[in-house]
Amino acid sequence: MSSWNGAQNQRTLFLLLLLFVASSQGATPSLKGCLVSQSDNGSSISCHPPARVPQYLPADTIFLAVEFFNLTQLPADTLHGAPHLQELHLSSNRLDNLSAEFLLPVPQLKVLDLTRNALTRLPPGLFQASASLDTLVLKENRLEVLEVLWLQGLKALRFLDLSGNRLRTLPPGLLANLTVLRTLDLGENQLKTLPPDLLRGPLHLERLHLEGNRLQELAEGLLAPQPGLRYLFLNNNKLAVVAAGAFQGLRQLDMLDLSNNFLTSVPEGLWASLGQPTRDMKDGFDISGNPWTCDQNLHDLYHWLVANEDKMFSGNDTRCASPKALKGQTLLAVARSL
């Protein structure tokens, strides 16, 4: 009995081995270990360690992921032979430089994800043939500056993620040609100021992420070009001053996060365009984690708070820091008692 079992086991092992050899030879050797799938539109190729980095791409490749390899370099001709490529995912490598010619072979590219690499710069002209690019993710790289010419050629970009870099300043005119941009993420950088014309260019920005920077002041005109803005994240900055007209004209805002700043007071009229009595914010607002001075200068805010209290986040963490008599009280309790 046991020897029959042994023979059976050996036969199974042999069959498995045969299968393994057959499959690793049957697939194109240079895509060894990559996940390859075909659809009517073309081939999708996903390579993660321990697979090999692909040496060759099928001509009908529309999707390519080469992630988690810690690659420091990509050959300039990597994308030759895949002229229909639509999505390229290169996250979690260690790319510190790209060739200016890198994207020339793939003019139909819609998505480029370079999350978690080591880019300190981009070559001017990288996007000269990228008129179809919709989504560009440069999150968690090492960019300290940006140059207007690096983005030249992007006409269809709707989503730009520059979060988690080391940006200290931005050049004027950065977004001037990005007319269809919907989402701009500049969160988790080291921005102290923003160029006043930053938002001139996009015609319908919907989401703006500026959280996790070092902004000290929100000036009057910054948001003015974007009356359709719906989500605005300014939390975790050093904002002490917000201009009275900063939100003027934002008639569609559904989410405002001003939490964890240095606000002691805000000017009268700041809230006039937001929430009730005009409309409900769909999501809500957060002004917690600020050292509010609860005196008569906040009366306008108190009034607005009561009218919009069902849209307030973190009400329990929204407290007066002074004067002494009110220290520790929630703003809402003070507002309601008036």
Kindly list the residues in this chain that would bind ligand NAG in the complex (CB under 6 A): 39-41, 49, 69-70, 97, 99, 148-149, 152, 177, 316
Using only the alpha carbons of the chain, give its radius of gyration: 27
Distance (Å, rounded) from C-alpha 133 to C-alpha 88?
11
Strand partners, 286: 257
Give CA angle at 196 (126, 178), nearest 5°. Answer: 35
Q: How far is the CB of 219 from ligand NAG (least distance, A)?
A: 24
* Cα–Cα distance for residue pair 45/61, rounded to 1 Å: 7
Min CB(98)–ligand NAG separation in Å? 7
* Shortest Cβ 300–ligand NAG spacing (Å): 25
What is the C-alpha separation between 118 and 120, in angstroms, rounded?
6
Q: Closer to ligand NAG by CB, 118 or 241: give it.
A: 118
For the chain, percent helix, then strand, then coil, each to nearest 5? 15, 15, 65
CB of 106 to ligand NAG, least distance (A): 16
In the complex with ligand NAG, which residue's Cβ is closer, 241 or 333? 333
Nearer to ligand NAG by Cβ, of 51 and 219: the residue is 51
Q: Which of 194, 269, 286 is nearest to 233 (CA)?
A: 286
Measure CA 237 to chain center: 17
Number of H helices, E strands in the chain: 3, 16
Q: Which residue's CB is nearer to ligand NAG, number 77 or number 268?
A: 77
Nearer to ligand NAG, 127 or 247 (CB): 127
Task: Tell me the closest approach of the beta carbon of residue 186 to ligand NAG, in angstroms.
Answer: 18
CB of 319 to ligand NAG, least distance (A): 8
For residues 178 and 218, which CB has a smaller minimum distance to ligand NAG in the complex? 178
DSSP E strands: which ranges in 94-190? 111-113, 135-137, 159-161, 183-185
